[in-house]
Amino acid sequence: MDECKSWADKAEALSSYAKQANDNTLHRLADRIQARAIRREGELLEEIEAATNQHDISGGAGAGPSKGRFAAGRAAGLSERQTKTALRVAKIPEAEFEEAVKSENPPTVTKLAERGTNANRWSTSATARRSNFRRPLG
């Protein structure tokens, strides 16, 4: 996971440099590398069993060292937000992720994380879901 973070950080720096130099080709390439590195971080984090209670998370009450995905993320130098972002990007179906990253203008990691957040939601709109609750039963 440390190597993924290192690649993501380097790609972010390269993307920033390319943007300043008005090199759109390099900027897109660096964004793609960063997105793939962050997705891999999330995949590795998903392999770790999630903490099941507050004692697992904090390592308190004589439970030993902290357990779970966020503890692993901290150990790899990720903030809580970076860990959540990586997990969300990893939730995007593989085909959808590849299509987005290979596009002419790849989305930012933030936009990918938003897609990952929405990947587990119902496909119908929020308005349609609310109207289902208003229907009379019977």
Longest dimension (CA), the chain: 65
pLDDT on residue 53: 65
In order of 96, 132, 133, the CA distances from 124 in angstroms are: 18, 11, 13
Q: How large is the average pLDDT for residues 63-87?
A: 84
* Tokens matching residue 29: 């390439």
Mean pLDDT of 33-61: 79
Q: Where are the alpha helices (DSSP H) in the chain?
A: 2-20, 24-46, 54-58, 69-75, 80-90, 94-102, 109-118, 126-134
- What is the model's pTM? 0.72
pLDDT in tens, 105-133: 999 999 999 998 876 554 444 444 444 44
What local confidence, expressed as pLDDT, does residue 25 receive?
Answer: 93
- 15, pLDDT greater than 60: yes
Q: What pLDDT is stored for residue 66 in this prediction?
A: 62
At 131, list the tokens: 């109207």
Q: Where are the domains positioned within the chain?
A: 2-134
pLDDT of res. 49? 84
- Return the number of other C-beta atoms located less than 10 Å from residue 19's C-beta: 14
Distances, alpha carbon 128 to alpha carbons 25, 60, 135, in Å? 41, 44, 11
Task: Provide the pLDDT for residue 51.
Answer: 74
How much is the mean pLDDT over the chain?
A: 81
